[in-house]
Amino acid sequence: MKAIRSLSPLAIIGVTVILGQGVTRAIAQQAQQPPATIASAMDREISIVEKEVVEAAEAMPEDKFNFSPEGLSLHGSDYKGVRTFALQVKHIGASNYILWSGVTGDKFPQDYLGGNGPESLKTKAEIIKFLKDSFALGHKAAATLTTENMLQSPGHGKSTRLHLVAFAATHAFNHYGQMVEYLRMNGIVPPASRTPSN
């Protein structure tokens, strides 16, 4: 407040004009953006989890892609039979297809059943492509949502379109947490937790 009092009247007018222009620009930018819709809101949620999951998958070196904490034989732990890192990633992709294909009407490939995706996917590149393709289907599913249809079932089961789209994102975040632990067990800081110097 003292600093403002020490300004000349002309300087105060200049500051007021500059601040006013900034507010005017912010309002104009908001006015240019299309209003939010249920489709755009859900698409944003999918984009958030997609970024985290894909970056975490890409951060794991290929030679560690089949890592599982079961191999660490930690005293007092029980990791017997848990998914490998690769299976965590494939599971997210397969689950995305299961949930979002019901909304889009896309044919669900039978070799995705069982929750771990196609057994034919072995390399890091193949698995990450599968993951990315599954999120592309999520964006397609989100785009179908309207206020008129979001609470309707897409024709199978009792789940609504909105629930299927949202649940896939929630489910992916659950497995993202496990991927983060696997990365840290291998001395890798997850991309979302890195500072600019990492």
Distances, alpha carbon 97 to alpha carbons 80, 103, 113, 168, in Å: 27, 10, 10, 9
Rounded to two decimals, what is the model's pTM? 0.80
Q: Residue 70, Cβ neighbours under 10 Å: how many?
A: 15
* pLDDT tens digits along 119-169: 899 999 999 999 999 999 999 999 999 999 999 998 877 899 999 999 999
73 in helix, strand or coil?
A: coil
Judging by beta carbons within 10 Å of its beta carbon (0-12, 13-18, 19+), is residue 185 exposed, middle or buried? Answer: middle
> What class, spelled out in words, does domain 37-192 have in CATH?
mainly alpha
72 compared with 64, residue with greater pLDDT: 64
Cβ proximity of 145 and 160 under 8 Å: no
Q: What mean pLDDT comes out for the span 81-109?
A: 92
Cα(62)–Cα(86) distance, rounded to whole angstroms? 9
32 in helix, strand or coil?
A: helix
Q: What mean pLDDT comes out for the span 89-102?
A: 94
The predicted pLDDT at position 166 comes to 96
State the DSSP code for 139. Answer: H
- Name the H helices within 1-106: 2-5, 9-32, 38-59, 85-104
Cβ proximity of 146 and 154 under 8 Å: no
Per-domain boundaries in the chain: 1-33, 37-192
Q: What mean pLDDT comes out for the span 66-83?
A: 88
Mean per-residue pLDDT of the chain: 86
The predicted pLDDT at position 6 comes to 56
Q: What mean pLDDT comes out for the span 177-197?
A: 90
pLDDT at 8 over 80: no
* pLDDT tens digits along 20-57: 566 566 566 656 777 889 999 999 999 999 999 999 99
111 compared with 172, residue with greater pLDDT: 172
With a CB cutoff of 8 Å and minimum separation 6, the contacts of 45 are 166, 169
Comparing CA positions, the residue from 72, 59, 70, 111 lying closest to residue 90 is 111
